Amino acid sequence: MTFTAGDLCCVSAACVLIDTNSSESVESWSKIPHVTQISTTQTANTPKLVTSSTAGNETSACGTVTNVGTLAVACHGGTELGRLCINSLHRIRWSADCDNIWNGNEATGTAVADVDAGIHFEALVRITSVPDDFNIAGNAPLVRNYGFDVVEWTTLPDCQTAQLG
């Protein structure tokens, strides 16, 4: 199989939703305004073992998977999401193509598209770090870069079957 270069995957159509009613049984999704970046990292805990079958060499053992992430949100024109508090739980959903997860009106934020429509992620997350970083010298918007742990994956692409650790 030969490699053929294609178009770059640009994420200008990406979006992140938050369940604003996460304490209730009924979901109520809203689009987070001015998200500049979201990422998750899965890291396998693979301790090394020496067994008789490895002839004295180390081999990796299966371990738990750590799931962490960051969410960067820029404040713009008074429409900031509002501060996410440390240790608070939030259900979030995101996709590189917003049409996969959102068919609602920007003003009312009432509807979520069929979540089987395309590749997307959804997770219950716990906020683990809350930034207070004001760039006094710069002339740029305030960007809050929150850290979170994934408490529970709701939707994850097929190739990633994470076991939380």
**Half-sphere exposure for 10 (CA within 13 Å, toward CB):** 3
Q: Is residue 5 part of a domain?
A: no
Q: Is residue 164 part of a domain?
A: no
More confident residue, 65 or 91: 91
Boundaries of domain holding 28:
15-155
CA distance 150 to 145: 16
Q: Is residue 112 part of a domain?
A: yes
pLDDT tens by residue, 103-118: 866 666 566 777 677 7
Which stretch, 56-65, 79-88, 89-98, 154-163, has highest mean pLDDT?
89-98
Q: Is residue 54 part of a domain?
A: yes
Per the prediction, the chain carries an average pLDDT of 79
CA distance 40 to 16: 13
Q: Is residue 59 part of a domain?
A: yes
Per the CB < 8 A criterion, the answer to whether 113 and 67 are in contact is: no
pLDDT tens by residue, 54-84: 777 777 777 788 899 999 888 766 555 678 8
**Half-sphere exposure for 71 (CA within 13 Å, toward CB):** 29
Average pLDDT over residues 136-165: 76
The CA-based angle 135-40-114, given to 5 degrees, is 115
Q: Is residue 124 part of a domain?
A: yes
pLDDT band at 165 (very low <50, low <70, confident <90, very high): very low
pLDDT tens by residue, 48-62: 777 777 777 777 777
Q: Is residue 144 part of a domain?
A: yes
The structural domain count of the chain equals: 1
54 phi/psi in degrees, rounded to 5: -100, 5
What does the block give as tokens for 50? 């020496």
Give Cα separations from 16 to 20, 57, 101, 119, 135 (angstroms): 12, 45, 9, 13, 25
Average pLDDT over residues 139-148: 84
Q: Is residue 6 part of a domain?
A: no
